Amino acid sequence: MEVRVGLNALILAVTRDEPRVMTVPWSPETQAIASSATMTALPFGDLDAEGDRTLELALRRWVRQQTGLELGYVEQLYSFGDRARDRVEGVRMISIAYLALVREAVVPPQISASWRNVYDFLPWEDWRRGPPEALNLQISQALETWRGSESSARNLRSQLAFGLDGSSWDGERVLERYELLYEVGQVQEASGQSGLGLPMGLDHRRMLATALARIRGKLRYRPVIFEMLPEEFTLLHLQKAVEALAGVPVHKQNFRRLVEQGGLVEGTGQLTRSIGRPAELFRFRRDVLRERPAPGVGLPRL
């Protein structure tokens, strides 16, 4: 059996208070990037074992070719290597996924990549306006059928993943929720039929769930959110960006207290120029990286 090594890019941004991911068109017939899409996928390509000096340089090359972006902050996310994950006979594809946090840039017109809302693919993860009741009802009914009446393990798994039966909602269980919906047959990648959220090529929606879980966890202990903001921002802009990624609303006063008292930001002395009440502009205070071992923004939920 042939073994191939591929590279995937999870490129995330926050724009107009929404989490966004860079996608490329994908053709299931050719198992490759397409000029016009029947489905979307993440930027991906093979490792050139002879020509690519490092994995990260190979990733940056593919991203540059497929999206026109020059990546800044990049970290290795996870390796995906389940058998037959790409459905190519006689090939075992190992994909190494990287997470990149950026400020959204305009895609050149000659390139077919596009930015999409993360919650188009994972709609059950957006609780900013409260629990998505209709969606949760559909999921609860599907899980109830799947659990049956005798499986305590299935009951516990459903409760912990989706906060059912009095359990609390854990925003970082993103991958667990996607994999459970896959197992229950509620996503198109599993059943071949229309399902919850938009599908992605191959197992790329699983990769997106892994990336969202990673970034939600890091919000608490690393200042990664500032990689996705302009140099100067208001505290409301910062709060909305955090809420967009976390998928939940935060307590405004407590959030600002954590950010300011934690030394994460500093005022610029400038105000916004807009209609209505002007707001003070802040910037990330980089000295906090030397002062604190885990300078995250925290998530003081409502």
Pairwise pLDDT comparison (33 vs 208), residue with the higher score: 208
Question: Could you tell me the pLDDT band of residue 37, with boundaries at 50, 70 and 90?
Answer: low
Residue 76 has pLDDT above 70, yes or no: yes
Tell me the sheet residues that pair with 116. 21
**Which pLDDT does position 29 carry in this prediction?**
59
- Say whether pLDDT at 32 is over 70: no
The pLDDT assigned to 182 comes to 95
The pLDDT of residue 252 = 94
The residue with greater pLDDT, 2 or 276, is 2
Q: How many CB atoms lie within 10 A of CB 5?
A: 17
How big is the CA angle at 133 (ends 127 and 139), to the nearest 5 degrees? 95
What is the pLDDT confidence band of residue 35, given thresholds at 50, 70 and 90? low
Residue 202 pLDDT exceeds 60: yes
Domains contained in the chain, CATH given: 2-118 (3.90.79.10), 123-196 (no CATH), 231-291 (1.10.10.10)
pLDDT band for position 135 (cuts 50, 70, 90): confident
Residue whose structure tokens are 């190992």: 94
Indicate the angle between helix axes 133-147 and 174-184, nearest 10 degrees: 60
Average pLDDT for residues 14-21, to the nearest whole number?
Answer: 96
Q: How confident is the model at residue 276 (pLDDT cuts 50, 70, 90)?
A: confident
Q: How high is the mean pLDDT of the chain?
A: 90
Backbone angles phi, psi at 282, to 5 degrees: -120, 170
**Where is mean pLDDT largest: 16-30, 245-259, 272-286, 288-302?**
245-259
pLDDT of residue 33: 63
Residues above pLDDT 90, as percent of the chain: 69
> What tens digit of pLDDT does each residue of 101-132 get?
999 999 988 999 999 999 999 999 999 998 88
Confidence label for 36 from pLDDT (cuts 50, 70 and 90): low
Ranking 33-37, 56-60, 76-80, 216-220 by mean pLDDT, the lowest is: 33-37
| Mean pLDDT within 58-63 | 94
Q: How confident is the model at residue 61 (pLDDT cuts 50, 70, 90)?
A: very high
194-214 mean pLDDT: 95
Residue 4: which of 92, 80, 85 has the closest Cα? Answer: 92
Which pLDDT value is given to residue 49?
85
Are the beta carbons of 159 and 169 closer than 8 angstroms? Answer: no
pLDDT number for residue 31: 60
User: What pTM was estimated for this model as a whole?
Assistant: 0.93
Q: How confident is the model at residue 167 (pLDDT cuts 50, 70, 90)?
A: confident
Q: What is the per-residue pLDDT for 244?
A: 97
User: How distant, in Å, are the alpha carbons of 40, 71, 225 from that of 58?
Assistant: 21, 12, 25
> Mean pLDDT lowest for which of 32-36, 67-71, 206-210, 281-285?
32-36
What integer pLDDT is reported at residue 129 of this predicted model? 93
